[in-house]
Structure 1
Amino acid sequence: MAGHVITYLVLVSSCFLVFRSFKKTTKTQYVQFLFFFWWVIYTSLHLTTGRYYLASTVTGGAFLFLMVPLSYAYMRKPQPGHNPFHHVRTIIMKFVSNFNHYMQKKIGLSGATAEADIRHYHPVVLARERMCQIEERVTKHLEEKKPYLQRSYSLKMLSDETHISVHHLSAFVNQYYKINFNDFINEHRVMICVEKLLSMEWKYKKLEAIAEESGFNNRNTFTVAFRKVTGVNPSQFLKNIKLGTPQKPENRALILKTGIASPTR
C-alpha cells in the first residue's frame, strides 16, 4: 500500500511540474487539462489493482506518463506550418529522458521489495497434527482423482479441490517432502509413466505419448523429472525393462508403488 502511495505522489508531482513548464496556457486549456489529468489518474489506478504489484504498477505508471504529455501536445495548438507530430515527439522524448533514470531505480526497488514481501509471507510452520491432516487429505485426493494427469495442474487447483489454503499446501510439500510443488506433482506423473512402461504399453505407444498421458507438457520436462526419480533417462529405463533389468528408482514412494527391484549386477 505504501508503495502505491509513494508511486502516485511521484507521478502526480511530476505531471504537475510538466504542466507548470508550459507557459501561455489559457483558462480553457487549464480546465481541459485538469479534467483529463484526473481521468488518467483514475484509469491508471485501476491498472494497478492487478495481482502482481510490480507489473501492474509499471503498466499504470507507463499509461500515466505517456498520456499526460500526449494530452498536452493535443491541447497546445502548434504554430501554423509546424508538424504537430513533431511537437508530440519532442514532448514525449523530453518527458521520458527526464524520468527514465528515476523509473529504473524505482522499478528495481519495487521488485526487490515485492520479492522480500513474498519471502516474508510464504514461510509457514505447520504443527505435526496439521501436517498429518493435510497429508491424509492430499494423498487420498491424489490417489482417487489423479488430478496431476492434467498438464497444467497447479497448486491453486489442488488448494481449491482439497479446501486447504495455498500457503499451507506449499508449506506442507516443502516441509514434509522436502521438495517444491512442481517436483511433487511430477513425481506422481513419473509413477504413472513407470506403471505404463511396466504394463508393456510401450509395445503399442511411443514414449512421448505415454509421457503426455501421464500429464507432462513436453519431452524436456518429462526427461528431467524422470531422471530425478529413477536415476536414468526414460529411454534407458525402457531399455532396461526390455532387458529384464529395470533401474531401481531413487524415490522411495515409487519403489513402494511399483515394486521395482535393483538391476542384477
Structure 2
Amino acid sequence: MKKSPAHRCRDIERQAGYLQPEHCAPPLTRPRSDAMWFIRDCCGIVCGVITWCLVFYAEFVVLFVMLLPAKNLLYSLINGALFSTLAFLALASHARAMCTDPGAVPKGNATKEFIESLQLKPGQVVYKCPKCCSIKPDRAHHCSVCKRCIKKMDHHCPWVNNCVGEKNQKFFVLFTVSVFSLECCYFTFSPPATVILLIFLCFEGLLFLIFTSVMFGTQVHSICTDETGIEQLKKEERRWVKRTKWMNMRVVFGHPFSIAWLSPFATPDHGKADYYQYVV
C-alpha cells in the first residue's frame, strides 16, 4: 500500500524493540495528575500578564472615568455590572485556557514495556515522536514551546501561554467571545472622559476587536470542520471519522448542550478513547 505524505513524515514502526527504549526511558519523577498545568515560557508569561493588565486597565477607565461621573446612576450601575461581568468571564476563561492541560501526551513513554502492554494486534502500529520520546496519538503534533506532543493541537498561543488543543479549546473560544463582547461595550458609553485615556482605550479596543474576531472565526471554522489549524496548514490527509458540525461542537464544548457551554468553570466531558492503537 502506498504511503501518504502524512505517513511518510511520521516515525512508524511495528516492533517495540526498534523504538530504542534505552533512549526513551521515562522520567525519574512523574508529574501528579492533579498538578496545575503551566508553561514556563518567558514570552508567553509576559503576553499573559499584558493581557490581564489591559483588561484591568479597561475596567478602571470604564468604571471610574466613564461611568462614575455619569449623572444617571441607574445607567452607571447597569452598564458597570455588565462590563465587570464580561471582564470577569474573560479573565476566568483566560486562566482556564492557560492553566488547563491542552491534551499533552505522557512524555518518555515509548519504552519497550509500555509498547508491549498495548498488546498490538496484526495490522496495528504505534507512532513515535523522536523529539519527546512519546507514543504519538493520531492527530497529535509536537509543540516546540511546550516540548510535548499535544492531542488535536490547533496552535500555540503566546497570549494564553499555552497550546490550544483537545482539552482547552472551549476555554480559548470563550476567552475570545468574552473579550470581543468586552470591546464592543467600549463604544456604547457616551459620558465624557479624559481624552488621552479614552483614545488609548479605543485603540486597545480596536486591536483586541480585530484579534478576537479573527481568532473566534478561525476557531469556529476549525471546530465545525473538525480540522485543526496545523492540519489545515500541512494539508494532512483526513483519516478520522467525519461528523456533523453540531456533533463537532458537542465534542469540544461537552455533551449534551446546556448553559455549561458558556461557563469557563465547567469542564467538558471528552469521553474516553484508545489513543495509541491504529489500523493501517
- The structure where helix makes up a greater share of residues is 1
Larger radius of gyration: 1
TM-score range, shorter chain: under 0.3
**Structure with greater contact order relative to length (CA < 8 Å, sep ≥ 6):** 2
TM-score, with structure 1 as normaliser: 0.26
- The structure where strand makes up a greater share of residues is 2
